[in-house]
């Protein structure tokens, strides 16, 4: 799992051809590693009692 995260960071650096702004690079890495799970349709709640 850790090796996968290191690989993602290296891929971001290679794709960007070098970041000059550290805050942007850090934010991009955090976004990629902690991608929010979202759906276009809302989750349907199950009726447990009925």
Concatenated DSSP letters of 1-50: -HHHHHHHHHHHHHHHT--S-HHHHHHHHHHHHTPPP--SSPPPPP-S--
Residue 43's pLDDT is 65
Q: What tens digit of pLDDT does each residue of 1-50 get? A: 778 888 888 888 888 877 788 888 888 888 888 876 666 666 676 666 55
């Amino acid at each position: 799992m850790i090796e996968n995260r290191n690989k993602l960071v290296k891929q971001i650096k290679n794709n960007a051809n070098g970041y000059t702004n550290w805050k942007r690079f850090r934010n991009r890495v955090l976004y990629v590693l902690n991608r929010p799970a979202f759906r276009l349709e809302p989750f349907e709640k199950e009726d447990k009692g009925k």
